[in-house]
């Protein structure tokens, strides 16, 4: 029994796989303590009297929110003497080039908590200066007096030789603080990105560790893990001392990583920086899984939840990047190439100083939520706009379990239009009607999401007309068709249970272990590779280094007590032309040079086979497959009969009122087909089929929306 849980801003989504049978549940998130919402969903799905111990696989937003809100640990930084201010200096890249008044956020580590160690390692890994006993004692006393809650250790060129970092880590270990050491977290060059990544890890470690400990403790209590078995005190005492009993003291909890794979809760607590985008990663994994089974190579994932929209372009396997940022801070661990914008169902509407309508990135969240939730919200949100336009039915939200308050929404919009600004003047928006305001909110939200889709497609050289849009998230189905029309996408795919699709992806994710190592090796032959002695020696040298990396990765999997089974190994090289600042990643084969020239021409429009190359990083990924459910395939028939139509009611599209049918998705069978305008209601989401679109149900029960010729 496996349970996938995705904690979002508004809802916590749960998916359970029981003997190849899938069940779903959505519960409101609990921002004060996310474990409450998670365990509430698990309890309701598993039920009482369950004897099997389920495996919980969790995508968490704790790391993301902690960095964005700057609510983390008090970090002490130990770095090479003279480089204490690197964390504050950063790079000279400017996000707003011509803004003379820009103010940067303060560094995560204040100046008083940064210490320089008297050590030095050369670029080739030779130790020039070792920290002596007096230096180690000084650092230990300083960190202890600082009352820091976590420690980050990052020295220059420690990726080439980690001896000095290991010496300092040994000296500080008995302080009992979480240690984040750069040669463990990220043994790569580029000192600022490595330092930033390690500091973020230290900033998150105590909070995420406490969160996972609490989740583990509550899960053990609920599932009865570690309880003494029946049979008398002496027998119980003997059993409690066995290794088997010790192994059962922890609940089986795995955490989703930003790279699209899962790891143990213990590993995530030590390396929380690898979980910062774990929620969106689940949706990308599920999108690739679904597209592969449908035989579709080119897809764009579109995940619109309560607080944000996450999009990712997939032209084959999911692409990872090592150049992402979070809260303006670089994070160099592998993450899926997801682009996020602050547009969700809970995004709030407001008027700026010029009277223009703005939507987001501020969100109503789970508490109080949009006005229609009836939980104290007073400011119009995107969900409220859809309800006012008739595209949401108040009686069928969450399968009818949570009726929406249409009357309060109407009054909230009227009040928003009546309110006066700070100077006592009536808002310019007062010229609108509530319906016009609602349509404006939807249009502005669509514009924000369309821009995000353009960033990952057109701006990167892809023609969106060659891609299918896989739409999910609780609010995705309300906007997907209109976005597809704007960009000319050929079709929209809405999978079953789209509101819990990211949780489904978390459930589908394989166990993944990523390791990397900077090598900075020159490649003398730049043109067509041959089996010369030079190329053969270099290939053998790389083989030996990869073998050591693979051995280290397998050892870490064993220490984490990962399940056995076949392991898939992926080897890649980061390569660049000598003198370049950035590199491209290609698979490790004997013809890696030719692969690089081809990828460089594809990315930048040219190749230079006469120019020498440089191998920058070695990357290895170990993948242990996990069980996958089968797609349920149905027989395609004509339009199914009874139970399809829920009701007909008025809904607004393009400023016009339409008598719109509402269909029950659970009653739709493969082969069903109808034209828009129409609305499909289900437990986890609502799907809008606007005028000009046709919706059909394929053999796997997906909704396929396409534009019909006029």
Convert the pLDDT of each residue in 195-253 to its tens digit.
999 999 999 999 998 888 888 877 777 665 444 334 444 444 333 333 333 444 445 78
d(CA 676, CA 696): 11
Q: Is the pLDDT of residue 550 over 50?
A: yes
Tell me how many domains the chain contains. 3
Range of the domain at 160: 53-259+269-276
Residue 653 sits in the same domain as residue 583: no
**Is 685 contained in some domain?**
yes
The owner of tokens 């035989």 is: 295
Closest to 372 in 3D by CA, of 387, 360, 359:
387
Query: By the 8 A CB rule, do 454 and 447 touch?
Result: no
Residue 184 sits in the same domain as residue 243: yes
The reported pLDDT for the residue numbered 219 is 74
Residue 609 sits in the same domain as residue 695: no
**Is 663 contained in some domain?**
yes
Residue 691 sits in the same domain as residue 557: no
Choosing from 242, 276, 310, the residue where a domain stops is 276
**Is 661 contained in some domain?**
yes
Indicate the DSSP class of residue 610.
T
The reported pLDDT for the residue numbered 223 is 64
Which value, to the nearest 10 degrees, does the dihedral of the CA atoms of residues 281, 283, 288, 292 take? 150
Confidence of residue 177 (pLDDT cuts 50, 70, 90): very high
Tokens of 695: 């919706």
The reported pLDDT for the residue numbered 430 is 57
The whole-model pTM stands at 0.86
Residue 66 sits in the same domain as residue 124: yes
The H-or-E segment that residue 279 falls in is helix 278-294
Helix (H, G, I), strand (E, B) or coil at 512: strand
**Is 14 contained in some domain?**
no
Q: Burial, 355: exposed, middle or buried (Cβ in 10 Å; 0-12, 13-18, 19+)? A: exposed
472-517 pLDDT tens trace? 988 999 999 999 999 999 899 999 989 889 889 998 899 999 999 9
Residue 557 sits in the same domain as residue 688: no
Helix (H, G, I), strand (E, B) or coil at 46: helix
Closest to 416 in 3D by CA, of 365, 374, 357:
357
State percent of the chain over pLDDT 90: 49
Indicate the DSSP class of residue 547.
H
Indicate the DSSP class of residue 698.
-
CA distances for 256 relative to 163, 203, 219, angstroms: 31, 19, 17
Mutual angle of helices 191-223 and 34-46, in 10-degree steps? 50
**Is 517 contained in some domain?**
yes
Closest to 702 in 3D by CA, of 294, 377, 126, 135:
294
Residue 602 sits in the same domain as residue 668: no
Choosing from 564, 595, 624, the residue where a domain stops is 624
Choosing from 212, 241, 276, the residue where a domain stops is 276
Indicate the DSSP class of residue 579.
T
**Is 38 contained in some domain?**
no
Instruction: Compute CA 590 distance to the chain's CA centroid, rounded to the nearest angstrom.
Output: 34
608-638 pLDDT tens trace? 998 999 999 999 999 998 878 777 776 766 6
Residue 690 sits in the same domain as residue 541: no
The H-or-E segment that residue 138 falls in is helix 133-146
Residue 654 sits in the same domain as residue 606: no
d(CA 245, CA 95): 54
**Is 225 contained in some domain?**
yes
**Is 41 contained in some domain?**
no
Closest to 693 in 3D by CA, of 675, 668, 680:
675
d(CA 469, CA 293): 15
The reported pLDDT for the residue numbered 69 is 78
d(CA 475, CA 383): 8
- Taking residues 395-412, report their average pLDDT: 86
Pairing of strands 339-341, 309-315: antiparallel
The number of beta carbons lying within 10 Å of the beta carbon of residue 587 is: 11
Residue 88 sits in the same domain as residue 227: yes
Residue 551 sits in the same domain as residue 677: no
d(CA 104, CA 97): 13
Handedness of CA 267, 269, 270, 275 (dihedral sign): positive
Tokens of 646: 């829920």
Residue 659 sits in the same domain as residue 592: no
């Amino acid at each position: 029994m496996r349970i996938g849980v995705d904690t979002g801003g508004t809802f916590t989504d749960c998916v359970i796989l029981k003997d190849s049978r899938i069940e779903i549940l959505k519960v409101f998130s609990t921002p004060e303590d996310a474990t409450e919402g998670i365990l509430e969903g698990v309890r309701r799905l598993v039920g009482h009297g369950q004897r099997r111990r389920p495996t919980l696989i969790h995508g968490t937003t704790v790391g993301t929110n902690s960095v964005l809100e700057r609510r983390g640990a008090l970090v002490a930084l130990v770095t090479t003497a003279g480089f204490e201010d690197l964390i504050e200096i950063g790079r000279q890249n400017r996000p707003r080039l011509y803004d003379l008044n820009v103010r940067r956020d303060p560094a995560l580590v204040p100046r008083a908590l940064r210490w320089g160690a008297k050590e030095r390692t050369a670029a080739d890994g030779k130790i020039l200066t070792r920290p002596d006993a007096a230096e180690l004692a000084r650092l230990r006393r300083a960190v202890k007096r600082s009352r820091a809650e976590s420690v980050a250790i990052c020295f220059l060129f420690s990726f080439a030789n980690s001896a000095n970092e290991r010496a300092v880590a040994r000296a500080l270990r008995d302080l009992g603080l979480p240690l984040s050491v750069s040669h463990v977290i990220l043994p790569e060059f580029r000192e600022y990105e490595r330092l930033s990544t390690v500091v973020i890890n230290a900033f998150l470690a105590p909070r995420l560790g406490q969160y996972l400990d609490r989740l583990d403790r509550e899960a053990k209590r609920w599932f009865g893990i570690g309880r003494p078995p029946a049979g008398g005190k002496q027998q119980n005492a003997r059993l409690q001392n066995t290794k088997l009993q010790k192994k059962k003291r922890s609940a089986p909890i795995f955490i989703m990583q930003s790279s699209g794979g899962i790891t143990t809760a213990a590993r995530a607590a030590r390396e929380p920086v690898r979980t910062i985008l774990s929620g969106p990663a689940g949706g990308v994994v599920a999108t690739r899984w679904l597209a592969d089974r449908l035989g579709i190579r080119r897809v764009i994932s579109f995940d619109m939840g309560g607080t944000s929209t996450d999009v990712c372009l997939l032209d084959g396997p999911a692409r990872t990047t090592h150049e992402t940022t979070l809260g303006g801070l670089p994070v160099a661990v592998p993450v899926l190439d997801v682009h996020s914008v602050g547009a969700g169902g809970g995004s709030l509407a407001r008027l700026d100083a010029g009277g223009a309508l703005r939507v987001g990135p501020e969100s109503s969240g789970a508490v109080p939520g949009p006005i229609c939730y009836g939980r104290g919200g007073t400011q119009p949100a995107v969900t409220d706009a859809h309800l006012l336009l008739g595209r949401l039915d108040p009686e069928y939200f969450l399968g009818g379990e949570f009726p929406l308050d249409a009357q309060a929404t109407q009054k909230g919009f009227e009040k928003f239009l009546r309110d006066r600004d700070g100077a006592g003047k009536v808002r310019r928006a007062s010229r609108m009607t509530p319906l016009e305001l609602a349509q404006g909110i939807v249009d502005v939200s669509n514009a924000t999401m369309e821009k995000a889709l353009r960033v990952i497609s057109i701006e990167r050289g892809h023609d969106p007309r060659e891609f299918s849009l896989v739409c999910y998230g609780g609010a995705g189905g309300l906007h997907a068709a209109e976005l597809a029309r704007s960009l000319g996408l050929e079709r929209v795919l809405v999978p079953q249970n789209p509101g819990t699709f990211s949780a489904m992806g978390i459930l589908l994710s394989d166990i993944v272990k990523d390791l990397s190592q900077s090598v900075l090796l020159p490649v003398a032959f730049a043109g067509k590779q041959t089996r010369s002695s030079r190329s053969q020696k270099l290939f053998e040298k790389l083989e030996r280094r990869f073998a050591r990396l693979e051995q280290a990765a397998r050892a870490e999997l064993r220490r984490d007590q990962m399940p056995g089974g076949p392991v898939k190994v992926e080897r890649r090289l980061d390569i660049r032309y000598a003198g370049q600042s950035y590199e491209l990643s290609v698979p490790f084969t004997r013809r890696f040079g030719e692969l690089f020239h081809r990828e460089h021409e594809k990315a930048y429009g040219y190749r230079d086979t006469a120019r020498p190359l440089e191998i920058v990083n070695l990357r290895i990924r170990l993948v242990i497959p996990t069980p996958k459910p089968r797609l349920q395939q149905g027989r395609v028939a004509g339009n199914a009969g009874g139970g399809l139509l829920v009701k007909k009611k008025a809904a607004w599209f393009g400023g016009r009122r339409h008598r719109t049918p509402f269909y029950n998705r659970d009653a739709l069978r493969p082969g069903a087909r109808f034209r828009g305008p129409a609305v499909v209601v289900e437990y986890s989401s609502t799907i809008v089929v606007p005028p000009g679109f046709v919706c059909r149900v394929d053999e796997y029960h997906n909704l396929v929306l396409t534009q019909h010729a006029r």
